[in-house]
Amino acid sequence: MKKILIVATFYLPVAVSAASIAEYQNKCEQQFNKFPEMVSCLTSNIKSDSFYATDPDAKLYAAQANSLAGKVKRKSMYEEDAVLELQQDYTDMNNRYQAKQSAEPKDNSFISIIKDRLHNGNAPRQNQTTIINTQ
C-alpha cells in the first residue's frame, strides 16, 4: 500500500500539470497570430515536454509543423493552407494513436492512465479550432 501511495504521490503532479499537444497548440494560437510564430511556440513546448520529446508521433507532428512554417515563410504556401494541412496532420496522428490503443490490450494501471492523459489531453479539447489572423 505504501508503494502505491508513493508512486501516486510522485506521478499525480505530472498527471495534473501535463498538457496534450492540442492544449499546447491552443495556447500558442492564443499567443501568436502568425502561423510561423505559433509553430515555433508549439515545437518549443513539444521539445521541452519529457513525454512528447521522445514520442515518435509528436516528433513527426512537430517536424511537419516546422516544414509548413518554412513554406509559409518562403511564401510557397499560404497560411490558411498550412493551417488546414497541420490540422489534417493532427487528425491523422490522433487517428493513428486511437487505432493503436484499440489494437492493444487495455491496461488500467495508473501509469497507463497517466500516459493516456498525456497523449490525449482532455477529450473536449481534441476537436481543435484553429484560427490564425493573416493580416
Per-domain residue ranges of the chain? 19-110
The number of helices, as runs of H, and strands, as runs of E, in the chain is 6, 0
| Residues in the chain, total | 135
Confidence (pTM): 0.65
* Identity of residue 64: Q
Q: In this structure, what is the dihedral angle of CA atoms 77, 83, 85, 87, given to the nearest 10 degrees? A: 170
In the predicted model, what is the mean pLDDT of residues 84-101? 89
User: Do 73 and 65 meet the contact criterion of CB atoms below 8 Å apart?
Assistant: no
pLDDT band at 79 (very low <50, low <70, confident <90, very high): very high
Q: What is the pLDDT at residue 78? A: 97
Running DSSP on this structure, what letter comes out for residue 113? H
Give the integer Cα–Cα distance in Å for 133 and 112.
Answer: 38
User: Do 58 and 21 meet the contact criterion of CB atoms below 8 Å apart?
Assistant: yes
Quick: pLDDT tens for 5-62. Answer: 343 333 433 333 468 899 999 999 999 999 999 999 999 999 999 888 888 989 999 9
Give the integer Cα–Cα distance in Å for 91 and 94.
Answer: 5
Q: What is the pLDDT at residue 126? A: 46
User: Do 111 and 89 meet the contact criterion of CB atoms below 8 Å apart?
Assistant: no
